[in-house]
Chain A
Amino acid sequence: MSSIRTIFSDIDVPILGTTLGLVVIGILSIYSSGMTSEGVQVSNEYVKQIIWAVSGLFLMGLTMLLDYNRTKDYSLFVYVFFLLVLIYTSIAGKVVNGSRSWIGIGDIGIQPSEFTKLATILFLAQYLSSSEHVPSLRRLAAALAIVCVPIIIILPQQDFGTSLVFFPILIFSVYAAGIERRHIAFMLAGAFLAGLLTILPLWEKFILKSPPLLLFVLYRQPYSYFSLSVAGLIFGLATWGWTSFRKRYYYWISYVSLLLAGGIIVSSLAQKILKDYQIMRLIVFLDPSIDPRGSGWNILQSITAIGSGGFWGKGFLQGTQSHYRYLPQQSTDFIFSIIAEEWGFVGGLAVFGLFTLLFRRCILLIRSSRDVYATTMVAGVLGMIFFHFFINAGMAMGIMPITGIPLFFLSYGGSSLWTVMIAVGLLLGVSARRYGA
């Protein structure tokens, strides 16, 4: 049992350093985003962010001190608690920007969906570490169910981006926990197929203007039912073949046909649940000129801001795109655009570098950690931060869809900052205890 002192003396300096560095950059950029063209600070967001950062540091230290081996037995309660909070939010929460995802009193509000990510990571790690002798496929199915519950609650709140984050968490976790690769590949391919089939109808309608390929048999209503029944039939026959003759190719035939059937089912469900504009958001990034005044406008403005920064940037508080308000949501979703505009390529590279350093430390932790719970948990945290970075930075540069996912550490917002700082606290806790007896 490590004492508080040894834990603090064993603190992972690179993780702490990158965290502090990113948070400070974030506060500076939020300060800059609140500045008008006249040099007047019109927003107190940076003050709030400082308060959240300081309290977040406290939470981070607290999390680090909690021994994860002792707390892991409570992960189910934490998970269930946040699911209940989510349900409460979806019924009685405040609507902000079209999503009913906030609860709170007066001006102070939190987004429980952010914290649910952490709760899910913890419970997922707990399950995967305690089910090592369960067959791989069944473990994967159970893990999938664990992440699907919050997704199902969040999706009707129309918070599409947040629900998307649960997939990388799942994949990183199960991969680290040793689920068979072909099973993970099956899930990935299924998700890809379902996503593709969800997007294709609208893509065809708004971009291609002409029927594409022969794929339409998979998503157009009358044909897709037919395709589904064919795939189902092949799956049934192949499975029967596999169980009777144990020939390898039967296995793969049923693998592929099940994939197809699953993709069709999930995509037709998704088309019913998702709103057109949510799917359109995913499409617009492919070609911002489709909608130059709508969401395409945001992307074009963001790219212009970043590109105009040049190598060294325009200097702190000198950004023009941001200060003349061409950039939308600049303190939250497009915070990276301000950084790149004012600090240029060098500043952007520094942010990328800090994130990559953090990822590197996470990977080292996974490699050196000795128990499956810690490994899986760190992988889940890695998946979460990695995905946020991947999507948000890519979105700002115009190579990823606009999904409303904030850039951890940097974006304005208490819930996401606290979430990531608690997550870092988990990392630090694992790091400090990895050699402990």
Chain B
Amino acid sequence: MSSRIPERIGGEEGSPRGRVRVFTVLAVSLFAIYSGYLFYLTVVRGNEYRSKATTIARQTTLIPSQRGEIYDSAYAVPFVLNTDSFAVNLVPAELPADRREAVFAKLATVLGMPIGEIKRRVPPAYYHLYQAIQLLGSVPYSTVTALAERIDEFPGLSWQSKPVRNYLETGSLTHVIGYVGDITRDELKLLYNQGYKTGDVIGKVGIEKQYDRLLRGADGHEYRTVDVKGRNVAVERKSIDPPVMGSNLVLTIDGAIQKIAEKALGPRMGSALVLRPATGEVLAMVSYPWYNPNHFSGLSAGDEYAKLLADPNTPLLNRTIQSSYPPASTFKTIITAGVLEEKAIPTDKKILCPGEISYGDRVFKCWTKKPGHGWVDLESGLAQSCDIYFWTIGRDYLGVERIVSYAKEFGLGKATGIDLAGELEGFVPTPQWKERRYHEKWLGGDTMNLSIGQGYMLVTPLQIADMMAMIVNDGIVYRPHLLKEVRDPSSGALIKRFEPEEILHSRISKETFATLRADLRAVVTEGTPRFVINTKVVGVAGKTGTAEVGLKDRWHSWFAAFGPWNATDPKDAIVVVVMVEATNQWEWWAPYATNIIYQAIFAGQTYDEAVDTLGLRNLIPRQERIE
């Protein structure tokens, strides 16, 4: 045992007693302060806290808002409706033991589920839990109202809105409308400050995503002051923040035209667009293949989604804006505009097409075989889509800089800004880009490729539609859009209308556009598709395109058109772009589909009537005819 007795605990300053006194002071003052404060809380303010304890809680019940519905352009046919649905939860520990059996029995009746199922979901081991356990996932609104009215009979019961979207039009509209799903953690991170919360349902794709804020509305709250047992007290203090119902959206999509375009494209990988150039309204937007969004709300949603993701035909892709292709000969339209505007070559100057020409160490073959188109000028070159003519003027008369600048003038290489997420920008190659990317010089051959829309250039079908819109509008392009109006969900009153918004205003002269329209009309009357476009109800002008993608005997098939080509009222004109991918069997289908679409729209016919009128019945593959 140590016998060392320190003379001083306190070091050089302060005696041990002095040091110990500090501890004493600390302990005594803590006792004094805490006792005093406890006295203040319990005795001085005791009454205040006692009344607070009896009327302690302000209970908040969520009143879910209803998601807005989505309609066609006439506000007549709904594309999406809600099937309101709720999840009903129970906090077992809030349910008194002696009432448990009775409450379970009553719940079984109200929810229409066997009592055994309730007991399976809330086993005795959970009885002391203060955690909400889901009893049933899809309970209709009426049942929840019934429960809400008698909430006192169901201690521990709560519910939350889980509306199920019912997509009535499950065909090609899927890509436009999209679907909803539970908010993910990442989405919540971005949107938390905008009032989104865990468990919310949020638009994932398409209009549902783009206009989620308009569609969702805002949840309401009901505040009640309750005593410690959860009973209502002070009824007059009950107050309600009513929910704000989500707005109804009216789309620019015309249900009938959408159907026509959908059938005209048929089961071919590709897309079809119908656009009103005078406003930018998208009347039809079809991308094949599509998928059924209703599957995403079911129990096997995950599997369904995985299956779609793995599908080599990429049905999740909206090919009108999310796929880009070489524009092929449709790009000759822009070259023609450039030649006319720049007066790069007299329009009647003829160039000889011998079927093939040599440039550098390569032989460039026109799409037609020897002996070629013979002597062609601008109009016939465009009509015959003569590659040799455009190679020559592109390389020798216009040059790559001007081609690039005209491509950009028509909005290529830039997203159109349509109100759908995920739009691609396409690509306009430049000599600088090629040098940066491949460390190779831009060659005359590259310019030649570019002149016929092959090579590095990529466009989306929507950009091609906007290119035609600019020609129709004498240089103006309005933002393509799908939302026409926002309407009040209960009264149907107009809240907001989408006004046309200029996104491009070209400096190209009106004369150029007028000539171009006539030249494009000549393409249909005298050129490549003169036997295909045989509709009599409207004067269609347009340009074909056949893009090489390396598949033998298969090509991307484009047709970009507008009509009537000489409309007196610009509102009458309609742009149609059909794009059929090379993966399909080669049918040169794009002009045929366009023909059917124009016939049906302008004659007011259905798809089948139009097909019959045009005498195309025998062209339609068998499996389509069965449908």
> Which residues on A are within 8 Å of B, measured CB to CB?
1, 36-38, 40, 42-43, 67, 69, 132, 136, 172, 175-181, 303-311, 320-321, 324-326, 340, 344-345, 348-349, 352-353, 355-356, 359-360, 362-363, 366-367, 370-373, 375, 379, 382, 386, 389-390, 393-394, 397, 399, 433, 436-437
Contact = CB atoms under 8 A, between A and B. Distances in A.
B28 A356 contact: yes
Contact of B1 (A1, A37, A345, A367): A1
B227 to A, nearest CB: 9
B39 interface: yes
B17 interface: yes
B318 to A, nearest CB: 40
B53 A305 contact: yes
Contacts of A340: 38, 41-42
Interface in B113-136: 127-128, 130
Contact of A306 (B4, B26, B42): B42
A386 B98 CA distance: 45
B49 interface: yes
A275 to B, nearest CB: 16
Interface in B28-71: 28, 30-31, 34-35, 37-39, 41-43, 45-46, 48-50, 52-54, 56-57
Nearest to B127: A42
B309 interface: no
B374 interface: no
Contacts of B93: 36, 42, 325
A370 B53 CA distance: 52
Contact of B12 (A180, A367, A386, A394): A180
Contacts of A397: 34, 37-38, 41
B49 A363 contact: no
B35 A352 contact: yes
B23 A40 contact: no
B43 A311 contact: yes
A69 B2 contact: yes
B6 A371 contact: yes
Given A326-B228, A340-B38, A180 B13 contact: yes
Nearest to B96: A38
A175 B19 contact: yes
B1 A306 contact: no
A1 B3 CA distance: 12
Contacts of A36: 93
A437 B38 CA distance: 45
A408 to B, nearest CB: 14
A340 B39 CA distance: 11
Contact of B229 (A42, A180, A324): A324
Contacts of A363: 20, 23-24, 27
A345 B38 contact: yes
Given A308-B52, A394-B34, 19 more contacts: A40-B97, A42-B93, A67-B1, A175-B22, A177-B9, A180-B13, A306-B42, A307-B45, A307-B52, A310-B50, A344-B42, A352-B31, A352-B35, A360-B24, A366-B20, A372-B6, A372-B9, A386-B26, A399-B37
B27 A307 contact: no
A359 B5 contact: no
Given A310-B43, A324-B229, A349-B35, A371 B4 contact: yes
B53 A320 contact: yes
B43 A176 contact: no
B8 interface: yes
User: Which 4 A-B residue pairings sit nearest by Cβ, starting from the closest?
Assistant: A307-B49, A178-B11, A308-B53, A359-B27
Contact of B11 (A180, A303, A353, A359): A180
A316 B325 CA distance: 80
Contacts of A375: 9
Contacts of B38: 306, 340, 345, 348-349, 352, 397
A39 B23 CA distance: 44
Contacts of B42: 306-307, 309-311, 340, 344-345, 348
26 contacts: A40-B97, A69-B2, A178-B10, A180-B13, A303-B41, A303-B49, A306-B42, A307-B45, A307-B48, A309-B46, A310-B42, A310-B43, A310-B46, A311-B43, A326-B57, A344-B42, A345-B42, A359-B27, A360-B27, A363-B24, A363-B27, A367-B16, A371-B5, A373-B2, A382-B23, A397-B34
A344 B41 CA distance: 10
Given A320-B53, A356-B27, A372-B9, A345 B97 contact: no
B417 interface: no
B51 to A, nearest CB: 8
B21 to A, nearest CB: 9
B56 A326 contact: yes
Contacts of A172: 23
B302 interface: no
Contacts of B56: 304, 321, 326
B14 interface: yes
Interface string B208-251: 00000000000000000000110000000000000000000000
